[in-house]
Amino acid sequence: MSEATVLLVDDHPVVREGYCRLIESRSRFRVVAEADTAGEAYRLYRLHEPNLAVVDLSLPGPGGLDAIRHIRQFDPAAKLLVFTMHQNPAYALKAFEAGAAGYVTKSSDPGELLRALETVAAGGRALSADISLALAGDRLDCGRNPLAGLSPRETEILRLIALGLTDETIADSLCLSLKTVQNNHYRIRAKLSAPTDALLTHIALSAGIVGP
């Protein structure tokens, strides 16, 4: 099989180094670039146009959802695999809605990541076993996850609100107008029945899209 190129996006250098070694020692993939922010991921994707990008969701500033959205705008055929600590099934769905083709958690066996790389590179969809079970449980529970009604953009804005960013800072970070962010902020509050940002933060913590 021919060699395939990978962009690895994670804000922890030690984590990137470890998974770079795993990917290159046990598969046909070669990591050609590494990024630690959404903006850098987009720049390096345009520069290298890799066969596949492996993206963490927890990045400083705009997160992995925003990186996925921008990369897909540049390249609608981009193959994107989320590799993250987040085990929330609704967050996984948001990643797929944003354009990801795979979702593997960092608690998974290393073999799951390698299998997912092959599946996504071949044009398929991949889920780690724990996320498959979580999604099934969420469906049986009638999808009562609070994130279910939010779009990927709204989910990312909720994450940044919970991190304490102002609407102005969020607008600058996501390259959106202030009015667009304010309108999204209002819709998020309405959808989650949350009259204050403190309650939005509580919901984001409970949903696991930000850490305590």
Q: Which residues of the chain have pLDDT under 70?
A: 1, 137-144, 211-212
> Is residue 199 domain-shared with residue 113, that is, in the same domain?
no
**Contacts for 13 with CB less than 8 Å, ≥ 6 apart:** 36
Q: How far is CA 91 from the centre of its chain?
A: 8
Q: Between vectors from CA 15 to CA 11 and to CA 21, what angle results, nearest 5°? A: 130
> Is residue 135 domain-shared with residue 34, that is, in the same domain?
yes
Residue type present at position 124: G
CB 145 within 8 A of CB 124: no
pTM, entire model:
0.77
> Is residue 110 domain-shared with residue 197, that is, in the same domain?
no
Report the CATH number that the domain containing residue 9 is assigned in CATH: 3.40.50.2300
* Rg value, the chain, Cα: 17
CB 100 within 8 A of CB 83: no
d(CA 212, CA 138): 23
Render pLDDT for 118-152 as a digit per residue (tens, 0 to 9): 999 999 999 998 888 877 766 655 556 777 788 88
What pLDDT is recorded for position 149?
Answer: 83
Sheet of 80-84, strands arranged across: 29-35, 4-9, 52-55, 80-84, 102-105, 126-127
Domain membership flag for residue 82: yes
Considering its fold, how many domains does the chain have in total? Answer: 2
Domain extent, residue 155, equals: 147-207
